[in-house]
Structure 1
Amino acid sequence: MAKVLSCGVEFIRGILLLLNVFFALVGLGLIGLGIYVKVDNKISAVLTFVLIGGGIFTILIAISGCLGSLWRNRCLLYLYAIILGVLMIIELVGFILAFVYKDKLEDVYRKTLTTVFVNALIANDTKVLDAFHDMEESLQCCGVNGKTDYTEYGKDAPSWCYEYQQGCSTIIINTLKKNLPIIGGSLGAVLFLELLSFIGAIVLAVALKHAPDDIDSSSPRDVIAQVIPGRRRNYYKLS
């Protein structure tokens, strides 16, 4: 039997539904971007996996939230809230660790990118090298750390390396630092929306637990309970 919810709880239910529709659209966008990246063979398959996997995961979470709201299913709402809670904790811890160890992360990033580049250079992996060359032309940089990335291994540096001396890793890191307020604001907005959804799911689930059943005029029991207030529970027991 349907539960009777107050106007405020119904409003929260509607907001929760809209938020999860938005999350589902974001998930579809991630999958679409992942497919685009997959088509472009120059870009790493790892990025494709992360985008498509993240999109599917986002859609599954959104579906559980939507169904929990539409069906007024407390189990789905609690499951949705638990997943969101764990996800928010992971995101918050990751953000804090990234801020605390940002210098170490820069070193790890430079070393990892250098290793990938050098291995591709030695093995003459044209697929990876083409991706690097596209990045160099786009960012107006040379190698990971500069022209020496080529000459140190007996390779001829591309023509643009004589014009752009700065390494690509430095430009990428500086760009990230420059846009840190935007990145932080975006992450904060995501966390805020997740927190709203988490609170909405908990409030709705608790409200459903304590909400009275709707009156069914076709049910003799409900008719008697409506005529004699407070007798519904006793009537069910006698039945």
Structure 2
Amino acid sequence: MARELSCGVAFSRGMLLLLNIIFLLIGLVICGIGIYIKVDTHFNDVLTKLSHVSDFKSQSLGFLAFILIGGGLFAVLISLLGCLGTLRHNRCLLYSYAVILIVLVILQLAGFITAIVFKDKLESVYKDGLTQVFTTALDNNDTVVIDAFHDLEKSLTCCGVNGIQDYINHNVKPPTLCFENPVKGCPKTIIDLLEKNLPIVAACASILLLFELLGLIFAFVLARALKNADVEIYSSKPGEVISGIIPGRRRNYRNI
């Protein structure tokens, strides 16, 4: 029995360590992307310009960098908590780690459901915010934002927010791309691109959710195994060992 317990604990420890190493790497990558967005001069200039538009402040893409950095650091801390609890056989840390994963799973499921239910509303808010930024840039001849839109148009093969008419309405010469082929507005192009790659996004989200569920399961399994590990009960008399469960027992994890 002790041998089976030892194998089970070893397997749980190994899987939990592997999952937390994966979490750690993912967190570092996400944090790195956020830092790159903040330190990149051109991108940061554009975000600064965008954040100055009053109706777009709450939706500013500049918050994306902070979200990525914060999310990445949080993932790193959670992975370190899991590794520490696993290596030190600390049930308190393991249970804390598991509870945090439960909260994350619930929040992610709530986010997925919200995105599905309010999909049309989210698209409308995104398009309205982008329209405000683009219109303000054209009215004020803000070359930084306009150049950023031109880069976006080239990369996505799109034109303005609603199409070439955006440039015509503001007496601004449209980029050549808008005349070459019938192209859609950039928000519609981005939404279509996201929907096209939705299976990939869903697969990545499902894999992440699976990792979290596995981490949750292995954390509980390991904590439970540690609780039920072989114990030796020592009496107050030197050298005397008493079998059974009594208050103040001394645990012996020799088989772990």
SS at match of 2:41: coil
Report how far residue 236 of structure 1 moved.
7.1
Partner of 1:212: 230
Alignment of 1:27-106 (within 5 A): 27-43=27-43, 44=47, 45-106=62-123
SS at match of 1:17: helix
Q: 1:171 aligns with which of 160, 170, 189?
A: 189
Give the aligned residue type for 2:67: V
Mapped partners of 2:123, 2:101: distance in 1: 29
Identity %: 52
Report how far residue 232 of structure 1 moved.
8.8
Q: 1:156 aligns with which of 168, 173, 177?
A: 173
Per mean C-alpha deviation after superposition, the further-off stretch among 33-42 and 175-184 is 33-42
The answer as to whether partners of 2:34 and 2:64 remain within 8 angstroms in 1 is yes
The answer as to whether partners of 2:163 and 2:184 remain within 8 angstroms in 1 is yes
The answer as to whether partners of 2:232 and 2:243 remain within 8 angstroms in 1 is no
Report how far residue 12 of structure 1 moved.
0.8
Per mean C-alpha deviation after superposition, the further-off stretch among 186-195 and 42-51 is 42-51
Unpaired stretches in structure 1, ≥5 consecutive residues: none
Mapped partners of 1:132, 1:39: distance in 2: 20
The answer as to whether partners of 1:113 and 1:144 remain within 8 angstroms in 2 is yes
Report how far residue 5 of structure 1 moved.
5.1
Alignment of 1:177-192 (within 5 A): 177-192=195-210
Give the aligned residue type for 1:145: N
Q: TM-score, normalised by structure 2?
A: 0.79
Partner of 1:15: 15
Displacement over 4 Å in runs of 4+: 231-237
Q: 1:147 aligns with which of 151, 156, 164?
A: 164
Unpaired stretches in structure 2, ≥5 consecutive residues: 48-61, 251-256
Partner of 1:230: 243
The answer as to whether partners of 1:77 and 1:201 remain within 8 angstroms in 2 is yes
Mapped partners of 1:187, 1:236: distance in 2: 45
The answer as to whether partners of 1:77 and 1:202 remain within 8 angstroms in 2 is yes
Partner of 1:113: 130
* Structure 1 pair 7–170 and aligned structure 2 pair: CA distance change class (3 A): same
Mapped partners of 1:161, 1:235: distance in 2: 79
Q: TM-score, normalised by structure 1?
A: 0.84
Which digits, 9 at most, give the CA deviation of each residue in 1:127-186, with x for residues without a partner?
332221111011111111111222223322222222243211111111111111111111
SS at match of 1:142: coil
Partner of 2:155: 138
Give the aligned residue type for 2:243: G
Mapped partners of 2:91, 2:248: distance in 1: 26
CA RMSD of aligned residues (A): 2.7
Mapped partners of 2:176, 2:101: distance in 1: 50
* Structure 1 pair 54–231 and aligned structure 2 pair: CA distance change class (3 A): closer
Mapped partners of 2:138, 2:109: distance in 1: 38
